[in-house]
Amino acid sequence: MKPSAHTDSKPQQQARAGSLIAALEEIQARHGYLPQKALLELHKRTGASLVDIYGVATFYRAFSLKPRGKHLVSVCLGTACHVNRAPVVAREVERLLDIKAGDTTNDREFTLETVNCLGACALGPVVVVDGHYFPAVSPAKVSEILQSSRDGLNNVTVETDQRVFPLAVACARCNHSLMDPTHPIDGHPSIRVTAAFDSKHGWVALSCLYGSYNVDNEYEIPEDVVVNMFCPHCHAELLGGGTCLECGAPMVPMIVRGGGIVQICSRRGCRGHMLDVSGAIFA
Amino acid sequence: MIRLSINGLEASFEKGTTLLEAARFLGFPIPTLCHMEGLSPYGACRLCVVEIGEGQGAKLVTSCTYPVEEGLHVRTASTRVMRARRMIIELLLASCPQSKVIQDLASEHGVRRQRFRQEHETCILCGLCVRMCEEQMAAGAIGFRGRGERRSIGTPFDITSEICRQCGGCIYVCPACQLRCTYNAPEKAICGGCANLQPPCLEKERFDDMMCYMEPCAACEIKKD
């Protein structure tokens, strides 16, 4: 191959790689991880070479080829945490969960990962479970943290009214909880996401009651405007939900704690939504 | 045509020629590991570094990926280049000592010590096999997986590839696994067996008493007996 021919094909390759990441994000949002079957299907559908797909999927840490647990435990091993004996904490978590870093427990309750810095060095050693920061963790505290995660950090009591019940949801990509107890709506923690429309970019708090449409926001969103919603933790767009059956706007998917996916319409005023708690993602 | 000087020799080359092609055309030897004619340049092994620019602005670039530039002053064997090359070979030795290709390079460049923690990798991630498979065999059965220290080459999901025709092209081009240095590795694995060989190498002028260019390596054969 001539050198010039190689350099010419570069922009094309980059464009393909870009759409590949979007496609993988969609699969990850739908299943919570990247199943082998889905990647083979993607290869057949798009014609992208399987080595490229696999290479990208294993390169980025945001993608996981193994099923993820319900709770994501991140132990910081950054410099400040490291000198504060974070490796001992990490070993204790590994011992209690009986898994190695990067693995998921057999009952799919916990996924353990070690990270290199969470930017909370003054709190070290830091352990983060589903977006909740636990500062100055000692090995003795680990079992307590795991137990409280098992019980649910954002536990919301289920109401008796069958049509209106609260959901605890998380970002499909980073698994961080989207629940915001500091900003209650309808007496329950709200679902906090970042919303962008026109050139505005601000937070939106949604009611976590399924069937309630109460919303609080930084910028007033006009009726009928389609907004893009982002996870406030990993800043990824909440994508891959398909389109609204009522108005055709993209649906915004979120993972329901305990299994399942809830999708809401991204158009302000549209009441299209879908709840799938068949537990398909962890089946 | 683009005019430039390589080691003080003025010459002109067509646009798009790489410095490596130009230097080799003029007869200046530049060692390479990840370069192969017919495959796209990659710049992974860094062995082909040359020095360009003047004074403070002088810098090392990989000649296999750097295109010729008007008025460029290239040094293919300056002190700085040779020092960088020896360091690269030392690092390669630290990770992959059983490769005869790397041991030969070490002998040729007079690398007589290896100061790093000794590892015994089977791959130097030069990507020759990946490019061979994709570009010449039009298969694309193997590729890079993971990143950082977990980077590796293999098939997706580590299962037998449906695309692979078992042509063996990947093994043929591999500098790490094709030729094995059978020298029984000491703590810091530099073969150098040929350095003490009797009678001395015929090409000792060029290779400074090294005889690793024989195949199979004569020193290895003698050790075996």
pLDDT tens profile A11-59: 455 556 668 898 998 898 888 889 999 999 999 988 888 999 999 999 9
- Pair B144, B182 in one domain: no
In angstroms, what separates the C-alpha of B149 from chain A's closest C-alpha?
11
Residues B116 and B165 both lie in one domain: no
Q: In terms of residue numbers, what domain contains B45?
A: 2-77
B221 φ, ψ to 5°? -60, -45
Do residues B9 and B71 share a domain?
yes
**Same domain as B100, residue B17:** no
Q: For A143-152, A199-208, B207-216, which range has the lowest pLDDT when averaged over its residues?
A: B207-216
CB-based contact, A36 to chain B, within 8 Å: yes
Residue A166's φ and ψ, nearest 5 degrees, are -85, 150
Return the amino acid letter for A198. D
B6 with B71, same domain: the answer is: yes
CA-CA distance, B103 to B91, in Å (whole number)? 12
Which CATH number goes with the domain that contains B59?
A: 3.10.20.740
Shortest alpha-carbon distance between residue A6 and chain B (Å): 7
3-state helix, strand, coil in chain A (%, to 5): 30, 25, 45
Task: Quick: pLDDT tens for B66-118.
Answer: 999 999 999 999 999 999 999 999 999 888 888 878 887 887 788 888 889 88
Q: How many domains does chain B have?
A: 3
Same domain, B110 and B210: yes
**In CATH, which superfamily holds the domain spanning A71-151?**
Glutaredoxin (3.40.30.10)
Identify each DSSP E strand in A198-271 by its residue range: 200-206, 209-210, 215-217, 228-230, 251-256, 261-265
Residues B6 and B45 both lie in one domain: yes
Residues B57 and B149 in one domain: no
Same domain? For B134 and B202 the reply is no
Q: Residue B41 and residue A3: Cβ atoms within 8 Å?
A: yes
Report DSSP state, residue B194. G
B146 and B60 together in one domain: no
Residues B186 and B115 in one domain: yes
Q: Which of B38, B135, B144 sits opposite A55 (nearest CB)?
A: B144
- Bridge partner residues of B49 (DSSP): B62
Report the pLDDT averaged over residues B175-204: 60
Q: Provide the ipTM.
A: 0.78
- Its pTM stands at 0.64
Same domain, B169 and B200: no
- Which region holds residue B121: left if phi is over 0, alpha if psi is between -120 and 50, else beta? beta
A226 pLDDT band, cuts 50/70/90, is: confident
Q: What is the pLDDT of residues B2-26, one digit of tens each?
A: 999 999 999 999 999 999 999 999 9
Which residues of B sit within 8 Å Cβ distance of A? 16-18, 38-41, 67, 130, 134-135, 140-147, 155-157, 161, 163
- Quote the pLDDT of residue B180: 65
Alpha-carbon gap, residue B170 to B176, rounded angstroms: 11
